[in-house]
Structure 1
C-alpha cells in the first residue's frame, strides 16, 4: 500500500511539474492518465479515451498500480508535449471543444487527434475534407409539421456562400437556401434526442428559422459542422477584407447563451401566463411553444443598457395570473416583457445571461437589426 501511495504521489508531482501551464487541463484537476500516450485526463475524458483502447490505455492516478516504466514514460511526455505533437497543424477554423461541450464533439476531437492523427500533417484534414469548398451528402432532417425525420440531400457550396437541402434526390430546386451571412450551427443532443443531433439556424425574412438534423456517423456530423465553419470563415474574409482571422474565429458558430422554459404573458399584461421555451441567441430572445418548433412565436431584441434596455428581478405589483413565482421584467424602449421562472436559480441564471448582453456594446450592424424590430408589424 505504501508503495502504491508513493507512486501516486510521484504521478501527481509529475503532473504538477510538467503541466503547470496547461490551464485547460489544470482546471479539471485530473486523476487519470493514459500510460500509452503520456497524458493526464479528467474523469470525463478518461471514459472517451477508453473508446480508443487500442491506442490509449487509461489508469487512475490514485487507485491503479503503476510500474516504474509507465511513470518514467509519463514523466518524459506530459500534456504540453503531447499537444505540441498531436495538435501541430489544427486548422484555425476547426472547433476545439471544451469540457462544457457535448460528448460527440469531445469524442471526435480525441479520435481526430490520437486515432486518426489528423493534425500531425495539415494536408490530411484540409485537402480531404475542407479545401474543395464543396460538401454534399445526406442528413436526417426533422419535418417542420409532422416531426418525422426524413433523409434529405444537403449541399454546402463555399463559392455560392450557401447551404441548401432538397426534398427529393433528383429535385432541381432546393427546398431551402441558407446564406452564410446568417447561418449558425450548434449541437443539441438533449433537445433533439440523439447524441449526434445538430440545430442549424438562419434568417428567413429577418426571422429565425430552425432546422434539426443528425447523421448516424458521429464523424460525418462533426465534419459537416466544421465544413460550415470554414465556409463561414471564407464568407467573412470576402465580406470584410483586411480584418484579421482572429476577429472572425469566435463568430464562425456560437452556442446559445441560455435556453429553457419560462412563462410569459401578452403585451397588455392581462392575459394568463403560458409556458414557453426561450432561447437567448446573441441579441435575440426567442420563445417557442415547443423546443423543436421551426419558427419562434415571437422574438425580442435585447440592446445595450445605455439605450433604455434593462432587466428587473420583479414583476409589477398589479400583475396576476402566474403560478411560477420568480418573475422578471425585461424593459425595452417600446414595451415591457413579463416572464416568470420556476425556481430562484433559474431566475438568477436568466438575469445573468441578460446582463451579459446588456453590458455588451452594440455593433454597427446590430442597430439595423434593432430598427427592424422597432418597425416590425
Structure 2
C-alpha cells in the first residue's frame, strides 16, 4: 500500500462517526477494516466478519495489506449502525418487495431510526439477515458467557407484534384526531405519519400491568368520539386511540394486554429505567 493511501485510511479512521474505534464493539484503534461494508474493525470482530464469508464482508489489515484507491474510497460510510442494538425483520408487504427488510436501531439521541432495504435476490437479503443474527449472537456469547444460549437467541431479532393504522389524539381536549401508522415492537409502541417513516412521531414504552399501565375500552371524560375507541394508560400519560372496526380494536387491545401481563426481563428493566430518565 502506498504511503498516501495509508495516511488517508488513518485520517478516515479518526473522523467523527468512526472515532478511531471498532464499528462493532467500540474497541480503540482498530487495525482492520471491511472495505465492502465501509467500517473499521478490531482483530476479534474482523475474525467474525471473515467467518460470515466474503459475500457479506471483505476485510483487510490497515497496515498489513495493500489498499488501492477504490478500496480506500469505500471506507467512508454514510452511517455506523450499532449491531448489538439493532433489530431486523422481513416486511415485504409494507415495502412492496418480496425481499424487503426493515432495520431499526437507536440513534445517538436514543430515538428509534428505521432503514428499509430490499434486494432483487432473495438469498442476498436472507444472508444479511442471518449475518446480523450471527454477529449479535457472537457478541452476546462474549459479553454474557454464563447465560444459556436459548435465552441469548431470544435477544437477537424479532418480528413486530402488530402493525396498522389507528387514530390518535393528543393530551389537550382541543387536539384533533389524526390517522397514524402504529408499530408494536416488543415493549415499544411507535407511531408514524406513514408506514415507511424513518423516525416515529412518538414512542411509548409498555411496562407491566399494575404499575400504572393498562388498556381499556372507551375514552377519558370529555373526549370527542372517533371510530371504535380505546385508551392506553402508561405512567407518563393516557393515549386516546381509535380503530376502524371492533375486530381491529380487539386485536390491538389483546396484543397490548399480553405484553402488559408479561414480566419485564432484566434487559427490559434497564430499558425502562433509561426511558424514565428521558421523559
Same fold (TM over 0.5): yes
Q: 2:49–2:57: 8 Å Cα contact kept in structure 1?
A: no
Q: Is the 8 A contact 1:265 1:339 kept in 2?
A: yes
Does the aligned pair in 2 maintain the 1:156–1:228 contact within 8 Å?
no
RMSD of aligned residue pairs (Cα, Å) = 2.3
1:177 aligned to which of 80, 84, 97:
80
State the aligned residue count: 220
Distance 2:126 2:52 in 1: 16
User: Scaled by the length of structure 2, what TM-score is found?
Assistant: 0.73
Return 5+ residue gaps in structure 2 as ranges.
Answer: 1-47, 60-70
**Structure-1-length-normalised TM-score:** 0.55
The counterpart of 1:267, out of the listed 162, 167, 171, is 171
Relative to structure 1, the CA distance from residue 207 to residue 356 in structure 2 (aligned partners, 3 Å threshold; closer, same or farther) is same
Q: 235-244 or 336-345, which moves further after superposition?
A: 235-244
Partner of 1:208: 112
Determine which of 84, 90, 111 is the counterpart of 1:187.
Answer: 90
Shift of the 136–174 alpha-carbon distance from structure 1 to 2, 3 Å rule, reads farther
Preserved contact between residue 180 and residue 235 of structure 1 (Cα < 8 Å): no
Structure index of larger Rg: 1
1:315 is displaced (CA, Å) by: 0.9
Deviation at 1:305, TM superposition (A): 0.6
Structure 1: 5+ residue stretches without partners: 1-129, 138-153, 158-167
CA offsets 1:50-90 (integer angstroms, 9 cap, x no match): xxxxxxxxxxxxxxxxxxxxxxxxxxxxxxxxxxxxxxxxx
Is the 1:301–1:373 contact (alpha carbons within 8 Å) kept by the matching residues of 2?
A: yes
Counterpart CA distance in 1 for 2:160 and 2:277 is 26
Residue 306 of structure 1: how far off its partner (Å): 2.8
Q: Deviations over 1:119-169 (max 9, x none)?
A: xxxxxxxxxxx88344666xxxxxxxxxxxxxxxx8599xxxxxxxxxx99
Aligned equivalent of 2:50: 132
The alpha carbon displacement at 1:267 in A equals 2.0
Kept in 1, the 8 Å contact 2:231–2:241? The answer is yes
Q: For the residues of structure 2 that align with 1:171 and 1:227, how far apart are their CA atoms?
A: 20
Task: Give 3-state SS (helix, strand or coil) of 2:126's partner.
Answer: helix
